[in-house]
Amino acid sequence: MSILNHVGPWTEAEYLTLGAASNHVELVNGDLLIGALPRPWEHDLARSIADQLAPGAREAELVVGERVTLRLTPQRIVVADLVVRRPPADSTGEEAADSDDVADPARDVVDVSDVVLVAEILAAQTRLIDTVTKDHLYAKAGIRWYLLADPDPAGLVTLRWRRLEDGRYVDGAVAGPGTSLTLSEPFRADLRIDTAPARSIRNVARTAPGRTR
């Protein structure tokens, strides 16, 4: 199905026909939000976080996945940079905390009921979406833990841990460069990210995601 030729609000079924192309397209209340593909530094940063979450997730029998297509409601499907979730019903358990698991939107949409933690990598072109729109959508969907990785133009990364209270996220621990973020819930983990590729961060185009019907 062509995005440009579509008329009227999008449904979940129509969205899923986009297949792999929807890896940077999200469905929110009938509108498509079209974002930029993740830059290499974003992928590397997400992979580093996933690798550090992996041991604790594995002990808790959870799965770590990158670029996960996440159904919040039938009309709200987003692509999260990183998700920690319960394994699929047909899983053998061997795939738990496998950060190579990249969801194929056409066949692997994770339901929010299986998600215990979501994380986003902040960049110029996604900051508003991740800190406002997705903050609201994730809270509304009841995801208890929200992790933000916030690199500055020099490549120094701050980790911000947020927890759900009374239907909204409140700030928890913050770890700046050279310090560790220690988690006790939903499993134990120690996260430390000192730098991200500064040149790539500075070169991110400062354009907002598009919207289409």
Can you give the residue ranges of every domain in the chain? 12-212
Residue 103, pLDDT > 60, answer: no
Residue 6: per-residue pLDDT? 82
What is the 3-state secondary structure of the chain? CCCCCCCCCCCHHHHHCCHHHHHHEEEECCEEEECCCCCHHHHHHHHHHHHHHHHHHHHCCCEEEEEEEEEEECCEEEEEEEEEECCCCCCCCCCCCCCCCECCCCCCCEEHHHEEEEEEECCCCCHHHHHHHHHHHHHHHCCCEEEEEEECCCCEEEEEEEEEECCEEEEEEEECCCCCEEECCCCCEEECCCECCHHHHHCCCCCCCEEEC
- Which tops the pLDDT comparison, 196 or 73? 73
Residue 18, pLDDT > 90, answer: no
Residue 123: per-residue pLDDT? 87
pLDDT band at 41 (very low <50, low <70, confident <90, very high): confident
Residue 35, pLDDT > 70, answer: yes
Assigned fold of 12-212? tt1808, chain A (3.90.1570)
Residue 97: per-residue pLDDT? 43
Residue 122: per-residue pLDDT? 92
- Which tops the pLDDT comparison, 109 or 2? 109
Q: What's the pTM?
A: 0.82
Residue 67: per-residue pLDDT? 92
54-97 confidence digits (pLDDT tens): 999 999 999 999 999 999 998 999 999 999 999 987 655 444 44
CA distance linking residue 53 with residue 66, whole number of Å: 12
Beta strands 25-28 and 76-85 are antiparallel
Residue 36: per-residue pLDDT? 77
